[in-house]
Amino acid sequence: MNDEQLQRFLDIATECALAGGVILEQQWGKLNTIEEKGRPGDLVTDVDKTSETEILKVLKRHFPEHGILAEESGHLGEADNPYLWAIDPLDGTTNYAHGYPVACVSVGLLIENVPQVGVVYNPFRKELFRAAKGKGATLNRRPIQVSTTQQLSSSLLVTGFAYDRRETPDNNYREFCYLTHLTQGVRRSGSAALDLTDVACGRVDGYWERGIKAWDMTAGIVILEEAGGQVTAYDESPLVIESGRILATNGQIHNRLSKALHEASSWLPW
């Protein structure tokens, strides 16, 4: 991959994220439809769909030959295409549907299954996070770095809960309580992509979650790694995107957080 190509992918990813962001902004407070996708609480609105339509228009215009995995449209294009765009047109749908202004658009590019380009745009804060592999990460064009926190006891973390949490004992409740006990706090923003970018720019020190998808994490992974962070599976083995489990930190607390997630399964606070 030469620099020029990578830059072009980053530029188009930015165009996509901003196109989706315009929809999120314009339609704020004017939702037409809110539906459940199957599970209780798993919402989709007309804004998720319109944002995705606008993003796909941009992508198809520039890269008609690439594969796309978009939350609301599924997989488009040849299954074995080495270029796969992972698109979340509205990450934070529950927040958005309730009028809680924490949401973003996430546009990532996997090449041969490796996240290489990522753009996350939060229109509420006018924050544009961008990164391409080997080129560093920026927030509104300024370089960003992860925090330097070294101890769990002085860390602030963030996590999330998947829509299947009512149906599975693997619901993250125990991990959430145990880490709340060990740290200065655990937040739940409602947007996995913003959780990753918040680790990337040092607002929080670590993030973990199970049950998230390629469209939630691809862009954020590139941004976090390029900001000096570490991304693995819970047990520190290499991340497998399809597993839906991610441990993402500033690097300094990675091992301690991994151990704590393991200990959580046998922790009995009550």
Q: Map residues 159-198 to x or -, x wherever contact with Ca ion holds by CB under 5 A.
A: ----------------------------------------
The answer to whether 216 contacts Ca ion (rule: CB under 5 A) is yes
Q: What tokens were used for 204?
A: 């929080």
| 162 interface partner picked from Ca ion, ligand IPD, none, CB below 5 to 8 A per type | ligand IPD
With CB atoms as reference, the residue minimizing the distance to ligand IPD is 160
User: Which one, 171 or 232, has the nearer CB to ligand IPD?
Assistant: 171
Q: What tokens were used for 22?
A: 């315009």
- CA dihedral for 186, 148, 127, 13, sign (positive or negative): negative
C-alpha radius of gyration, the chain, whole number: 18
Is 235 one of the annotated binding-site residues? no
User: Which one, 91 or 225, has the nearer CB to ligand IPD?
Assistant: 91
- Give the footprint of Ca ion on residues 105-164 (CB under 5 A): none
The answer to whether 91 contacts Ca ion (rule: CB under 5 A) is yes
In the block, residue with structure tokens 């939060």? 122
- For the purposes of burial, counting CB atoms within 10 Å of the CB of 150, is it exposed (0-12), middle (13-18) or buried (19 or more)? middle
User: Which one, 132 or 192, has the nearer CB to ligand IPD?
Assistant: 192
Is 91 one of the annotated binding-site residues? yes
Residue 211 to residue 170: CA distance in whole angstroms:
10
Q: Which stretch binds Ca ion (CB under 5 A): 63-71, 107-115, 130-138, 199-207?
A: 63-71
Q: Which stretch binds Ca ion (CB under 5 A): 19-27, 216-224, 231-239, 256-264?
A: 216-224
In angstroms, what is the minimal distance from the CB of 44 to ligand IPD?
8
* Position among 71, 205, 209, 226 found at the interface with Ca ion (CB under 5 A): 71
The answer to whether 88 contacts Ca ion (rule: CB under 5 A) is yes
Is 71 one of the annotated binding-site residues? yes
Chain residues binding ligand IPD by CB under 6 A are: 88, 91-94, 160-162, 190-192, 209, 211-212, 216
At residue 211's C-alpha, the angle toward residues 12 and 154, to 5°, is: 90
Task: Give me the amino acid identity at 68.
Answer: I
| 225 interface partner picked from Ca ion, ligand IPD, none, CB below 5 to 8 A per type | none
Q: What tokens were used for 52?
A: 């995705």
**Binding site listing for Mg(2+):** 71, 88, 90-91, 216
